[in-house]
Amino acid sequence: QVQLVQSGAEVKKPGASVKVSCKAFGYTFTNYGISWVRQAPGQGLVWMGWISAYNGDTNFAQKLQGRVTMTTDTSTNTAYMELRSLRSDDTGVYYCARDPGFDFWGPGTTVTVSS
CA 98 to CA 65: how far, in whole Å?
A: 21
- The alpha carbon of 54 is separated from its chain's Cα centroid by a whole number of angstroms, namely 17
Q: What residues between 60 and 99 interact with another protein by CB under 8 A?
A: 61-62, 95, 97
What are the C-alpha distances in Å from 36 to residues 55, 115?
Answer: 17, 25
**Least spacing, CB of residue 14 vs another protein, in Å:** 26
- 59 neighbors 49 (Cβ within 8 angstroms): yes
Kindly indicate which of the ranges 19-27, 74-82, 83-91, 103-111 contains the residues binding another protein, using the contact rule CB under 8 A.
Answer: 103-111
Binding mask 21-50 toward another protein (x if CB under 8 A, else -) reads --------------x-x------xxxx---
CA 16 to CA 73: how far, in whole Å?
A: 23
Residues that bind another protein (CB under 8 A): 35, 37, 44-47, 59, 61-62, 95, 97, 100-103, 105-108
